[in-house]
Structure 1
Amino acid sequence: MQKFLGDLRLAEIPVPGRRDRTMVLDRLAYGAEETADMLGDFIGTVKIGWGLPLLLDEKVLLRRVGHFRTRGIHVSNGGTLLETAISRGKAMQCLARLREARFDTIELSEGIIDIPERLKRSVAEFAHSNGLRLNVEVGKKNPGAQLSLDETVERISSSADLEPDMIIIEGRETGTGVEIYDGAGNIKWDWVERILEECDSGIVMFEAPMERQQTEMIMRLGPDVALGNVSVTSVGALETQRNGLRGDTFGYSQVMPDLRSGPASKFIYYILSTRGAMDQTRIVRTTGVNRRTVQKSLENLIRAGVVTETRDQHDLRRRIYTCSHGLREQ
């Protein structure tokens, strides 16, 4: 398919290679099918939220699922639907009906109830034996009954034993007061870094319903970060952010090298690339990253040869950090 002004698009835009990194939350609102028609290349999975399928006439549900599937988009249940079935002793019946309805992705969560290990393995075995994708969601939905960071990491580790295609970190549809988000929707970066230290980033997806959360994730973790609970109306905005085609991440994909380091190092490199030389105090103030992490990240970047350290000629105690390669040098 020929894209509008294709010669202006960045050569590294992956179509459809990056599509599996975006999961859209379908709330059964108007516009989801039209978005799939226009921007389906950038949608990996559509999740029909929580228990919404139970409200639909079967023919309507089958038509909706079929619409997404014919466009190469995976379709997942919401974890709450399966939790509801499990709580009523109908887990396997639910799984069988999802398969018959052409859902090709099963989401297993414990957002409301705790599920016995034996039953989790049964769900995983059903998915694997039927050629279905398996996503496991970690986190609780009640803001007043949240897991600790250690508990979250432990559950991520045990979820990996189920051989899922993706481990999803709970964010709900609000992006506030759960897991990696505080009550105002700000990202708790110490949680994110710990999670990524413990788990392969290739199979971790962060639910990030707010556009500002999506932008921050891209700026700190890179354009390929897997994001879920993206609203239907945010698909285009998210993809332009991934490709540096919007103000917040303009030029991002050109300046970000392949750094084998944590998210803080990548974010600091991006800031230096786009805003110019800074001392450590200004980096801390600009990024919001604590001083110790900034110092460690700068050491990593200097060692990688992408940032240089010099002394201020007017104050030899003050060190200035400059990006070796970036937009300012092009």
Structure 2
Amino acid sequence: MNDFLPQKPWDTVLRDPLPGRNLKPRTCGLSMVIDKGLGIRETLDLAELAAPYIDFLKLGFGTSMLYSKSLLQNKINILREHDIHVYPGGTLLETAVLQGCWKDFMRTSKKLGFTAIEVSDGTVTIDLELRRQLIQEAKHIGFLVLSEVGKKESGVHLPIEKQLELIRHDLDCGVFKVIIEGRESGKDVGIYEASGAIRKDDVDRLLEQLTSADCIIWEAPLKSQQEALIAQFGPNVNLGNLFPHDIITVESLRRGLRSDTLRLAMCRNRLPDDDSLLPATARF
């Protein structure tokens, strides 16, 4: 029997409680995964299971320097074959800037097969002119360019005015998206308090000055942060620093398939004037 099978088994029965999720290729609703050392088989498993839900994978913490060339290229090839952009992380480019070899770093990244580059100054101080050169050179080579705003040192928070200056500068230079620093901890960094709670005033002040939040990727490693950002911006908010084992559950959050955001969908669809069903983390 050759009965037609839908792409996913529930397609003809159920719909997403939170509708409107963008499919790949997309420019909004991006999910960026941080890879802290996945093996080849883990990378292949992740790509086979979750490629439709991953837009970018970052090889974090300079880990790409610790792999053999063949292993690294194998990882990159697997991701590219599954339409996932892969890049080496901003700190590695900062290291290249510190050592005066950033042009060689970019050219080598291109030869290895990386498709994106992140320009950041989370640790190394980079002035606006050099930041512009880094972005323009990466674009010239053919990378999709991301930039990042924020410092990695715990407890150090850039003033909102400085963040806005950098965001506008980078967008004017032609970056695809600007990442707001959140590290892998999501605590006492960027827009997050030491507890991991979102600094609502910071987010509001950023949004007041930006035409749209679509230009931002919010690093949000914690579920409470993902849930709150989805509650404010909807299922197509751009999220980063997602852990590989969380990518499917984050997609479930986006679509209202977890209890936390199913209650959000119930509130929006049935009781538009009553937020009593909203999870507490969604009321930031």
Structure-1-length-normalised TM-score? 0.75
Distance 1:97 1:176 in 2: 34
Out of 21, 34, 38, the position equivalent to 2:45 is 34
Contact (CA 8 Å) 2:120, 2:149: kept in 1 or not? yes
Partner of 1:245: 257
SS at 1:7's partner residue?
Answer: coil
For residues 166 and 245 of structure 1, the distance between their equivalents in structure 2, rounded to whole angstroms, comes to 27
The 10-residue stretch of structure 1 (20-29 or 77-86) with the greater mean CA deviation from structure 2: 20-29
1:77-156 alignment runs, 5 A limit: 77-156=88-167
Equivalent-residue separation in structure 2 for 1:20 and 1:53 (angstroms): 27
Distance 1:8 1:126, change over 3 A: farther
How many equivalent pairs are there?
271
Q: Who is 1:52 aligned against?
A: 63
- SS of alignment partner, residue 12 of structure 2: helix
Q: 1:274 to 1:125 in 2, by over 3 A?
A: same
1:10 maps onto 2:15 in alignment: yes
Q: Which residue of 1 aligns with 2:33?
A: 24
Residue 232 of structure 2 corresponds to 220
Q: Is structure 2 residue 180 aligned with structure 1 residue 175? A: no
Query: 1:64 maps to which residue?
Result: 75
Q: Structure 1: how far apart are the matches of 2:43 and 2:56?
A: 12
> 1:226–1:287: structure 2 CA closer, same or farther, 3 Å change rule?
closer
Partner of 1:205: 217
Select the structure of larger CA radius of gyration.
1
Relative to 1, partners in 2 of residues 1:84 and 1:239: Cα closer, same or farther, differing over 3 Å?
same
Question: Deviations for 1:3-35, whole angstroms, at most 9, x for unmatched residues?
Answer: 122223426444335585100001113534312
Measured after TM superposition, the shift of residue 240 of structure 1 is 0.6
Give the Cα separation in 1 of the matches to 2:167 and 2:38.
32
Q: State the distance in 2 between where 1:137 and 1:160 align.
A: 11
1:236 paired with 2:244, answer no
Structure 1 residues 86 and 246, CA gap change in structure 2 (3 angstroms): same
3-state SS of 1:167 partner: strand
Change (3 A) 1:49 1:286: closer
Residues 143-175 of structure 1 deviation map (CA, whole Å, 9 limit, x = unaligned) = 243312222222222222221100000000100
Residue 77 of structure 1 and its aligned partner are, at CA, apart by 1.8
Instruction: Work out the CA distance in 2 between the residues paired with 1:70 and 1:239.
Output: 21
**3-state SS, counterpart of residue 15 of structure 1:** coil
Deviations, residues 62-88 of structure 1 (Å, cap 9, x unaligned): 000110000001112210000000000
In the aligned structure 2, how far is the partner of 1:50 from the partner of 1:130?
23
Secondary structure at the aligned position of 1:161 is classed as helix
2:3 corresponding residue in structure 1: none
Verify the 8 A CA contact 2:221 2:242 in the aligned structure 1: yes
Distance in 2 (alpha carbons) for counterparts of 1:60 and 1:126: 27
CA gap of 1:271–1:192, structure 2 versus 1, over 3 A, is farther
Q: Is the 8 A contact 2:29 2:235 kept in 1?
A: no
What is the aligned-residue RMSD (CA, Å)?
2.5
For 1:73 and 1:287, locate their aligned partners in 2 and report how far apart those are by CA, in whole Å: 29
Taking a change above 3 Å as real, the CA distance of residues 272 and 248 of structure 1, as seen in their structure-2 partners, is farther
Q: Tell whether the 8 Å contact from 2:21 to 2:235 is kept in structure 1 after alignment.
A: no
**CA separation in 2, counterparts of 1:77 and 1:169?**
17
Larger proportion of strand: 1
**Would you say the 8 A contact 1:23–1:228 is kept in 2?**
yes
Which secondary structure does the structure 1 equivalent of 2:173 belong to?
coil
**Identity %, equivalent residues:** 31
Does the CA-based 8 Å contact 1:243-1:252 persist in structure 2? no
Q: Which moved more, 1:28-37 or 1:231-240?
A: 28-37
More RCO (CA 8 Å, sep 6+) = 2
